[in-house]
A = this chain, B = another copy of it.
Amino acid sequence: MRAGPSQDEIRRQNLGALLRYVHVHGATTRAELTTVLGLNRSTIGALTADLAGAGLVSEGTPRETGRAGRPSLVVRPEAERVYAYAYSVEVDRLRAARVGLGGAVLDRRELDRPRNLLAEEAAPLLAGALKEMHPAVPAGAVCVGVGVAVCGMVRRDDGLVRLSPPTGWVDEPIGAALAAELGIDVPITVGNVADAAAFAEHARGVAAGCENIIYLYGDVGVGAGIIAGGRRLTGHGGYGGEVGHMVVVRDGTRCECGSRGCWETEIGEHALLRAAGRHDARGRDALLAVFDAAGRGDARAQTAVRQAGDWLGFGVANLVNIFNPEMVIFGGTMRDLYLASAAQVRSRLNSIGLSACLEHVRLRTPKLGADAALVGAAELAFERLLADPLDAG
């Protein structure tokens, strides 16, 4: 039961809408902004002046238009001067990047992550990557935040990593550890990697313009970033989207989460490698080798892929029936699995899915590729700026 916005909230929202537009769509003429945002020329002028004054955008000379009339000024995000640090904590990899307003990756570092590395041990490594990148930051540039994407369940309120079977983390305060290590005074936002990737694909990837999407992200486990009605589905505690632990086989194979027959146990890394007869292998490279082998005609690999693809379609169909999404995106290892078994996926989907839900659903692979998680993490950090550009800038 909340009242409507006050007038300065209007201003904030309009500033945010403008900044978000140039952040997502890149340099934009003022004329275009007036039509897109539905605001008056004079208002757009005032807003850009405010944002330029805060150093968030710059106005440049117009592009050659070819048409008659005074050319419109171009509003550009300050892609170099305003940036966020983004981290992605994956099973066997730590990624760090400096991402400019506008979404460009300005700098990056990657390092292998020893399995069973705890948050307190990871934080110095992550901070080190940041310090390595720091000298390249131009003078006067300002960091608006740090975003961290972790493959695990993250408590919304404080960013505590509750449970991340693939990394072995339980109640790891990665945000606090990182804050202590960095010693810089910027807000740190921690989120789930699938959520972050979904967010990025929703903002500037294949799902641009879609309001209802499911981004399925496979690593060792499987999670989903879900956007419903244009907003992230977080759930009450922030643990929404744990579709990998939807049980698809009652009393099935034991899962790391303690339950049995989770979807993950049928389509996760372990399941596929085991089915392909590679019990000792792990990691993404091993997985790709299976897909390769299947592509080259290896019968056992083909069976494994087909079987996993069948289960992939099974679970996706269930999710489609529940959410009625506009698009399902297959990211991480799910991308490879989907591409290798699209026939099985579609077949299952068509047999299980309700026809009304199948009508408009599109199956896609990510547009942002491996960077989706990083860009999404940055997007999490930028979100604060976009909600209130002048205060957070």
Q: Which residues of A contact B (CB under 8 A)?
A: 1-7, 9-14, 16-17, 20-21, 24-25, 36-39, 153, 155, 162-163, 211-212, 228-229, 231-243, 245-250, 257-260, 314, 317-319, 321-326, 351-357, 359-361
Contact = CB atoms under 8 A, between A and B. Distances in A.
Given A10-B7, A250-B248, A360-B237, A242 B354 contact: yes
Given A235-B325, A239-B354, A259-B352, A1 B13 contact: no
Contacts of A240: 212, 228, 322-324
Contact of A257 (B318, B322, B325, B354): B354
Contacts of A162: 356
Contact of A3 (B38, B234, B246, B359): B38
A172 to B, nearest CB: 13
Given A245-B321, A351-B259, A12 B4 contact: yes
Nearest to A357: B239
B321 A163 contact: no
B237 A356 contact: yes
Given A4-B14, A229-B234, A238-B324, 12 more contacts: A1-B21, A4-B13, A4-B16, A5-B5, A228-B228, A228-B240, A229-B231, A239-B357, A242-B324, A246-B318, A248-B250, A258-B355
A237 B359 contact: yes
Given A1-B21, A14-B3, A242-B357, A233 B318 contact: no
B4 A239 contact: no
A325 B322 CA distance: 14
Contacts of A245: 321, 354
Contacts of A250: 248-249, 314
B231 A231 contact: yes
Given A228-B233, A236-B211, A247 B356 contact: no
A322 B243 contact: yes
A250 B314 CA distance: 8
Contacts of A20: 1
A242 B352 CA distance: 12
B236 A326 contact: yes
A353 B235 CA distance: 14
A246 B354 CA distance: 10
A39 B246 contact: no
A129 B72 CA distance: 61
Nearest to A11: B4
A212 B236 contact: yes
Contact of A235 (B228, B257, B317): B228
A340 B37 CA distance: 55
B7 A153 contact: no
A325 to B, nearest CB: 6
A37 B6 CA distance: 11
A39 B153 contact: no
A367 B318 CA distance: 30
B236 A325 contact: yes
Closest 3 CB pairs of A and B: A235-B324, A4-B13, A236-B326
Max chain B CB contacts within 10 Å: which of A2, A231, A238? A2
A154 to B, nearest CB: 10
A200 to B, nearest CB: 16
